[in-house]
Amino acid sequence: MIKPQLTHVGIYVRDMAKMRRFYTEVFGLTVTDAGAPPDFHLDMAFMSADPGEHHQMVLVGGRPDAATANVAQQISFLVRSLDELRAMRDRVVDAGLKVRRTITHGNAWSVYFSDPEDNIVEVYVHTPWHIPQPAGEPFDLDLSNHQIMAETEALCRGRKGFATGEERQATMRQMMAG
């Protein structure tokens, strides 16, 4: 069975310059191409953090000022460690944005905030555990890594359906093979 991999997301924006600046300065994305193609009347900016992917995000101008709905439920970015998660939280705050919530899903530690056009953005790092989803408990990202690990492991082990990350990946491989 062919299983396409999700590689990028595109969102409509009101202020292209502001959104390009935000995603390049705060997230370190690189604009790989930009402009308005001849067969599409809206300005576009292609952005990536992976040299193997031309774009992981596309900003497309033309979002109406009167739009009342967000263009995406959330846009999520994976980092490699709790230290990187703290650094990204600090970058967001330094950019003048307010953190909405800091929670553990059991399988991930996440920081949620809104980008300059009020789209929900999540930055997260995987934990070595799994609990059935949805799940979300606040945690203190200013604790030591050791304390966060211990508290999250205790939370996960206390939940029905607990599994290690390796056990969950084995289950997922079986689910996806069938």
Q: Which CATH number fits domain 72-178: 3.30.450.20, 1.10.472.10, 3.30.720.110, 1.10.1200.10?
A: 3.30.720.110
Preceding peptide of 134 cis, ω within 30°:
yes
Between 119 and 82, residue with greater pLDDT: 82
**1 has pLDDT over 70:** no
**Global pTM value:** 0.83
Do 1-63 and 72-178 have matching folds? no
pLDDT at 100 over 60: yes
Domain ranges of the chain: 1-63, 72-178
Helical (H) or strand (E) element with 121:
strand 120-126
Per-residue confidence at 3, pLDDT binned at 50, 70, 90? low
Residue 68 DSSP SS3: coil
Kindly report which listed range (40-44, 56-60, 155-159) carries the lowest average pLDDT score: 40-44
CATH superfamily of 1-63: 2,3-Dihydroxybiphenyl 1,2-Dioxygenase, domain 1 (3.10.180.10)
Q: How confident is the model at residue 95 (pLDDT cuts 50, 70, 90)?
A: very high
**Residues linked to residue 46 through DSSP beta bridges, in sequence order:** 33, 58
pLDDT band at 150 (very low <50, low <70, confident <90, very high): very high
Q: At 63, is the pLDDT very low, low, confident or very high (cuts 50, 70, 90)? A: confident
93 has pLDDT over 70: yes
Query: Residue 42: what pLDDT?
Result: 83
pLDDT of residue 175: 76
Structure tokens at 15: 């202020």
What is the pLDDT at residue 4? 58
